[in-house]
Structure 1
Amino acid sequence: MKKHIASVWIGLLLCAVKPALAQTVLTVSAYPAVDEIIKNALPEWQKKHPNVQVKVVGREYADHHTAMTTALAASSGLPDVMTIEYGYLGRFSQSGGLENLAAEPYRADLNADKFVAFAWQQGQFGSQEQTAVPTDIGPGAMFYRQDILQKSQVEPKQLSGRWEDLIAAGQQIKARTGVYLVAHARDIKDIVIRSGLTAGEGIYYNQQGQSVVGTSPRFKRAFELAKQVRQGGLDAKVNAWSNEWGESLKRGNVAVQMMGAWLGGHLQNWLAPESAGKWRSTRLPEGLATSWGGTFYAIPKKAGNKALAWDLVQHLTLNKTQQQLALQKFNAFPALKEAQSGAYFDQAVEYLGGQKARAEWRETAQKITPTKVFRNDPIAEEIVNAELDLVLTKGKAIDQALADAHRLIQRRAQR
């Protein structure tokens, strides 16, 4: 009798174990806060796929892209769905390790018109391949501390006029409150080099893949303005995403931070939640409409569950409800045009003092010129930043710094 009972229990256990063993595991690699957006979207998606276990591997931003770079190079350890930030698109797209989503059976190109044009084109490699699909975008915006401006008697319109007006406002802010205008003079450079871009051009390269750092006037102006900020003592000399940077935003040591519209969500949720009502958003100086970051999904060629991976990518990018939930919960501005409508865009943002900022961000997104990404964009950025640091800290002549950067970038591009 005991043996019979034992065999029955063993049989039941085996029956219970079989479904678990048969369950498909889908792996998604992401960085904050995209990993949370994906997790929030899974319950709805898994209604269609109850036997699929989705494992979301979340790493810090730099660690994630380093891990994906290594995995693509080794063609091993790759997820089924890979999250890519805009700055790494060129490198990953040209690695040869990602599926062409414009080809069968995906045919992502049939949905191209549903996305904002500049983001869709950023996910392209050449004229025939779509290696990544956009999910959120970063319309450029300027976040500022309204309380600090009031103490300094500076009007918000002074911030979004000419760059020289912004610097003059920074001088007034520093003189009357002791608060720095920006976290780092590099912040000014990062925005100015994105001005005046033409369709099909990159930030650092022309359409033929040749460096424009030494010839484009936007780089010289960017360096000159950054130098003015540093010489005026208007920057706190702290790098973005460092602990010191977070503390500066939290404590109100910095009056202005220019980034993508998604920064509003970061300020609200983890950078400076206790500063609710003190921050505002406005346009970038000189009416500049530019993209700052953005998130894309790709499927590696070595992925083990491509059909399920594509189904999940479509849910994350083409589902209007999901895109709007990501905006409402995480301030991830939707790349899907259909999701950029509705009453939510006209609602006041409590964290921003009741400001209706989303409509302004949408207007900026509609004006952004489609630009191209290149494999060596991250390297070019490092070289330009290194030369700017020499200008700011060692007094290197701007013309020489740009000429040296141009030469180094061109040399790397020819390899």
Structure 2
Amino acid sequence: MKQIIIIGGGAAGFFCASNLDEKKYKITILEQNSDVLQKVKISGGGRCNVTHACFDPRELVQFYPRGNKELLSVFTKFQPGDTMDWFDQRSVSLKIENDNRVFPESNSSQTIINTFLNEIRKKNVEVKTKCSVKEIEKQDEKYLVKTSLGDFPADYIVYATGSSPKSLKIVENLGHKIIDLVPSLFTFNIKDDLLKDLPGTSFENAEISIPFLKTQESGPLLITHWGLSGPAVLKISAWEAISLAKSKYQFEIEVNFISKPINEAEEDFQNFRQSNPKKTIGQAKIFDITNRFWQKIVEVSQVDLNKQVSNISAKEMHKILENLCQKKLKVTGKSTFKDEFVTAGGVDLKEINFKNMSSKLLPDFYIAGEVLNIDAVTGGFNFQACWSEAWLISQHLNNL
């Protein structure tokens, strides 16, 4: 019986093992940590954001800053609808939330973990934890995987280690080119009077641009203790991960907290002034933002909160609207987004055959998951890439 060694007990490794034909292969998973499926456990705040309800591969690839061209063919063979089906067949009820993220009905990642553990138990897959791979040696038609628990011979290797520098070094030693790792999905550290004392304040739809990169994103925005976070920031951090790393995370952004052009905001202001001339500016409810944030805007614009709206000068109004619609902020660093740490970089995609995720350089060697130079914005997309790639590997090996 031929041996498949799967290196990495994460999403891609387990999905591959769960779909392999155990009558044909002896399957072993090697995991360096004491627990398997660690990222699955913490994803979505412990609820596990399994995938995203986007069923058109052409639309789906738009969420991947790196890997979008290559993943198109992968997603035509296995996409989020297939993932949902797969879990459905194993009696796991999933639900689509308002933002199209998909979670188990149970709201617990343990449901997903138990499903995988159950699958591999049925298939007699052996799992070795605390098993650190030191080196992989090519020997004639086979491989020898040297680990802290001894040597494992393999006819086929599925390399799904995640993006640790150590695991990238191992495939680099086998001849693969590695694109340097940089963080993707991070929040912006900003010290500014406008954001001070307002952590937790959120905006349903804001616009952020990075002028020096001529790029912008929109979406929900959140003020944190460190600066700014939320989907708008995370999206722009993913798309511009490489440029922002080069800037050493020192750059200027411009924020429109209400997603309205300044002339439109001025119209709203004038209309409010006409119908509420006696209202004080501090109590004026002109825009869809919290009272505290509005008062902070007025304060940093150096306008007296008790001044009546009718007495606000054109200059004062312009200053207020500028801070609301065109606020320039200096970013002085980054913070990793919760536990959902994602990196850009990894194995060069030119060296992978995306029909079956095999290495173009190494025979019988397959690569999947975050070890590849593929990453996505937040929302279940990174897992979907893992499921789809692992599915292609398992189907290819089953049909050999």
TM category, shorter = under 0.3
Name whichever structure is richer in helix by fraction. 1
Under a length normalisation based on structure 1, what TM-score does the superposition of the two structures give?
A: 0.24
Name whichever structure is richer in strand by fraction. 2
